[in-house]
Structure 1
Amino acid sequence: MHASEVKELLEAKIDGAQILVEGEGCDFTLTVVSEVFAGCLPVKRQQMVYTHLNEMIAAGTIHAVTMQTFTPEEWAARQG
């Protein structure tokens, strides 16, 4: 699986999200920025993303995912 495929999948599932994906094969690092994360704890944010990846994880298409999740405001603050 390619990073671009993971990016397209998540962009189609999480409205208005900015998705940055690094990696290839079955190991990926994700940065997901979306307004839907506002007011959610980090674990809930990750669950929201994993919901869209679980089928591929179960099938072995994706083996490892590392992710960071941000609201647009949090992301802007990080970019400084």
Structure 2
Amino acid sequence: MDNQDIKSLLITKLNLENAYITGDSNHIEIIAIGDIFKGASQVKRQQIVYTPLIKIITEKHIHAVSIISYTPKEWEQNKKINNSNHLLK
């Protein structure tokens, strides 16, 4: 499963506004943006993103995952504060 497949899976299953996936099957980094994260703790946000990935992880198609999640409002604020466009691929 490539990064585009993972992106499509997350956007579809979690109804995300957008997702950015970098890395390879050994380690992927995910930036997930969606209203689904409103009011959720960081732990809950991680659980939300892991849920559609469980099968891929347990079948060892992905070894390690780093997740950063934002609501759309948080994402816009973060882009302005940190000028984080260099993270996008």
Coarse TM-score class (shorter-chain normalised):
over 0.9
In structure 1, runs of 5+ residues without a counterpart are: none
TM-score for the superposition, normalised by structure 2 = 0.84
Take 2:17 and 2:32, find their aligned partners in 1: how far apart are those partners? 7
SS at match of 1:48: helix
- CA displacement, residues 28-57 of structure 1 (integer Å, 9 cap, x when unaligned): 000000001000001000100100001111
- Identify the residue that residue 17 of structure 1 maps to in structure 2: 17
Say yes or no: does 1:51 pair with 2:51: yes
> Which one is further off, 44-53 or 20-29?
20-29
Q: Which amino acid aligns with 2:35?
A: E
> Which one is further off, 23-32 or 59-68?
23-32
Determine if contact 2:30/2:65 at 8 Å carries over to the other structure: yes
- Identify the residue that residue 3 of structure 1 maps to in structure 2: 3
In structure 2, runs of 5+ residues without a counterpart are: 81-89
SS at match of 1:69: strand
Aligned length in residues = 80
TM-score for the superposition, normalised by structure 1 = 0.93
Determine if contact 2:27/2:64 at 8 Å carries over to the other structure: yes
Determine if contact 1:21/1:29 at 8 Å carries over to the other structure: yes
Q: Which amino acid aligns with 2:10?
A: L
Q: Which amino acid aligns with 1:59?
A: E
SS at match of 1:25: coil
Q: Which runs of 4+ in 1 moved over 2 A?
A: none
> Which one is further off, 68-77 or 10-19?
10-19
CA positional deviation for 1:25: 2.4
